[in-house]
Amino acid sequence: MKKITILLMTIGSILLFCVNNSMANDYSVRLSANQYALDSEFNGVFNMADNMLTAGVSGVYDSDDYKILFLQALVGNEILDGFTGGLGFKGAWGEAEKRYIDGDVLNLGFTCYASYDLSKTALNNYPVILSSSLCFSPEPLSFSDTKKFVEILAECSWKVLDQASLVLNYRYLEIDFKNHKKWEKSDSAGYLGLKFFF
């Protein structure tokens, strides 16, 4: 219970910092799906001196396998023309199932992020952004039934309008559990959707 309280206080502090640090400069909403699952994300970008803070909430829903809500906060900046990188924290809360067993997901992981905006390079005729992120939560930062958590995301977005992009994204999840002896849930899936900017 003490670990869960610390996790919730950490995530709450990050969100309070974002709210108190003026309104975001940019917002984005992504909605994507495949035949079996829904994936969504809402992010706000806050300018802070030489860096930018990205804070957001996302969720993935697969009726047969897992339901997970994510909260994240990343600090990053533009390293080269068009290339942006960031580091931060990402928390996950939800549940996963495998045949007749299920487990609760609760963790706070380290995350890193990179994106490459082709429109800011010599290929400026192509309004395409390639991005990826990795989240890893070792056992000391995994709570409830969770023992270890790994998430890999990859995304390709093509800006078809000033405020909308067509998105193709991929998610890989691997979660180790410690209830019902030891068991693991892994899944990889692709999604197609839209992202809106405002």
Got the DSSP string for 88-115? EEEEEEEEEEETTEEEEEEEEEEEEEEE
pLDDT value for 1:
45
Q: What is the pLDDT of residues 61-110, one digit of tens each?
A: 997 789 999 999 999 998 888 899 999 999 999 999 888 888 999 999 99
8-state DSSP, 41: E
Asked whether the beta carbons of 55 and 72 are under 8 A apart, the reply is: yes
Token representation of residue 48: 């802070």
Q: What is the pLDDT of residues 25-42, one digit of tens each?
A: 789 999 999 999 999 999
pLDDT value for 190:
95
Q: What is the pLDDT of residues 127-150, one digit of tens each?
A: 999 999 999 999 999 988 999 999
Q: Give the structural domain span for 141.
A: 2-197
Instruction: Say which residue, 164 or 9, is predicted with more confidence.
Output: 164
Token representation of residue 130: 């390639």
- Please count the structural domains in the chain: 1
When mean pLDDT is compared across 8-12, 153-157, 180-184, the lowest value belongs to 8-12
Asked whether the beta carbons of 49 and 22 are under 8 A apart, the reply is: no
Q: What are phi and psi of 120, to 5 degrees?
A: -100, 10
pLDDT value for 181:
74
105/68 Cα distance (integer angstroms): 8
24/14 Cα distance (integer angstroms): 14
CATH number where 67 lies: 2.40.160
